[in-house]
A and B are shown apart, each in its own frame.
Chain A
Amino acid sequence: MSWDKSVKESIKWHDNMEVEKYEYTVGPAGEEFFKGLKQGKIIGSKCSKCGKIYIPARTYCENCFVKINNYVEIKKEEAYVDTYTIIYKDDEGRQLDKPIYIAMIRFPNTVGGLLCYAEGNVKVGGKAKIISFDWPLRVTVE
């Protein structure tokens, strides 16, 4: 309390709140998605009740709340840039050698998008070609 003047300085204590690491499973639908990436495909899933297609694949429809068993391949040539941003510093605040473009690509008639590294003529609405299927993806925009 500010009225007690007997304590002149406050002690600081340094510590952390970290476990060693986390190992997250990707779940059954996630495994289908990543298996697809290894084969150069983008895999989504289609709800049999409302017809919505989710990217990345999901095991249930968030709208109808029913199970989805139907994994479909999405036409990867239809990818387009929905929005993008340019970053100049990394996540610890250090300046990058070259600015990096991060884009959110979407596919027509689907729900969801994928964040990826982008290069080329990056603009909203630009057609995106996937040049690397490692995760995260790399695209080039014409």
Chain B
Amino acid sequence: MKVNLYLNKRVAIIGAGLTLFRRRLLETPQEIAWEASSKALEEAGLELKDIDCVVIGSAPDAFDGVHLKGEYLSHGSGGIRKPVSRVFVGGATGVMTAIAGWYHVASGLCQKVLAVAEEKMSPARPHPQSVFKYIWDPILEKPLNPNLIWIFAMEMHRYMAKYGIKKEDIALVSVKNKRNALNNPYAQLGANITVDDVLNSEVLVWPVQLLDVSPVSDGGAAIVLASEDVARRYTDTPVWVEGVGWTLDNTEWPARDLSYARYVEFAARMAYKIAGIERPNKEIDVVEPYDPFDYKELHHLEALQLAKRGEAPTLLKEGVFDIDGDIPSSPSGGLLGVGNPIAAAGLMKVISIYWQLKGTAGKMQVKKPVHTGLAQAWGDLMQAGTVIVLRN
């Protein structure tokens, strides 16, 4: 694909805010969005009247149980009497919210943008997972009464069968991320577990077991983006958005080989081209791949060209992706450790890279000095991939 590389407006992130991610919260969706947005504005040193445009990212309306959910969140996200856009690409929404914030500023239309992502999954009964029944094709797939976890289990089993990867190798991702999450004050499930704990947990859909999966959560996240001259007035350490990429694939996942995530590769190549990265595994210092399931992190690391196909588990065992390794992966604890409110989780990953590059990640800070970071999200039925590259 041809990408216009003559972008002369640089965009920086100058503030970020997160709420706690927990299984259920008392607050209404607007109150959760307000909590994250006001923290982001506070860090940026701006007030609501300074913001020109607002971007709201929120995944299926069916979770919160209110249609037009983006518009519903408007007064909690500062989106009243201002130009507001809503983005929605399934699970990839979180990073897409940051990308949409970027193009509002890069186009020259807005100088300061507030980008908010929020999700409240707890209202649905009997269980939030039952809402996922409606993303399948109504005529050809729904009559089999599928549960969303089936599609992940099928992809995991194909990945294991094609490259000869064992469950013990994949379980190491869950162990690593939950351990990293102990350092994260917003995390829902930080814990010290072992590979045996994962292998002995409840079997949901073989080969997926309970500790391989990220939880259902409520939560919100927000960032403030600004153009170059504005950013330098408010902070000495802006974090620049250097590359963005996004791709959508078709819904025919039964007709595609599931062992490789080609949609993430296309999105990553677009982002690398804009950022001028030619050898990703040498130039990326820290990465936050999307990990709703533990094998997904390995699957995405390969699609991001940070490991050869089938090789990611070997590199993981060698410690390359640990917090003190060559390419630390998910230092925040990822979705497995912090929680998975669908849209807010992706933006949480962007915020984690922002903190790493700014040096304010506290106990989550990786050991080596970092200059280039990448956050990635995935969505729908093996379809959407979004990637963002940041530099300090």
List chain A positions with a Cβ less than 8 A from chain B: 13, 15, 17, 19-30, 59-60, 62-67
Q: What is the total of A-B residue contacts with beta carbons within 8 Å?
A: 65
Are B62 and A19 in contact, CB atoms less than 8 angstroms apart?
A: yes
Interface size class of B (residues with CB under 8 A): 20 to 34
Known A62-B80, A65-B48: A23·B27 in contact at CB below 8 Å: no
Interface assignment of B126: CB less than 8 Å from any CB of chain A:
yes
Known A13-B138, A17-B134, A65-B48: A30·B62 in contact at CB below 8 Å: no
List chain B positions with a Cβ less than 8 A from chain A: 24-28, 31, 34, 37-38, 41, 47-48, 62, 65, 75-76, 78, 80, 122-126, 130-131, 134, 138-139, 142
Residue with the greatest number of chain B CB neighbours at <10 A, chosen from A23, A25, A67:
A25
Are A65 and B28 in contact, CB atoms less than 8 angstroms apart?
A: no
Are A60 and B76 in contact, CB atoms less than 8 angstroms apart?
A: yes
CB neighbours (8 Å) of B28 from chain A are 24-27, 30
Query: Within the complex, what minimum Cβ distance (angstroms) separates A90 from chain B?
Result: 20
CB neighbours (8 Å) of A62 from chain B are 75-76, 78, 80
CB neighbours (8 Å) of A26 from chain B are 28
Residue of A nearest to B48 (CB): A65
Known A23-B125, A27-B27, A30-B28: A60·B131 in contact at CB below 8 Å: no
Are A59 and B26 in contact, CB atoms less than 8 angstroms apart?
A: no
Partner of B125, one of A19, A27, A29, A60: A19
Are B78 and A27 in contact, CB atoms less than 8 angstroms apart?
A: no
CB neighbours (8 Å) of B27 from chain A are 25, 27-28, 59
Partner of B31, one of A17, A21, A23, A59: A59
Are B78 and A20 in contact, CB atoms less than 8 angstroms apart?
A: no
Are A28 and B26 in contact, CB atoms less than 8 angstroms apart?
A: yes
Known A60-B76, A65-B34, A65-B37: A24·B130 in contact at CB below 8 Å: no
Residue of A nearest to B114 (CB): A65
CB neighbours (8 Å) of A19 from chain B are 62, 124-126, 130-131
**Complex CA–CA separation, A15 to B130 (angstroms):** 15
**Complex CA–CA separation, A60 to B78 (angstroms):** 11
Query: Within the complex, what minimum Cβ distance (angstroms) separates B37 from chain A?
Result: 7
Q: Give 5 new A-B contacts, CB below 8 A, not counting A25-B26, A60-B34, A64-B47.
A: A15-B138, A17-B62, A25-B28, A25-B122, A67-B38
CB neighbours (8 Å) of A22 from chain B are 65, 123-125
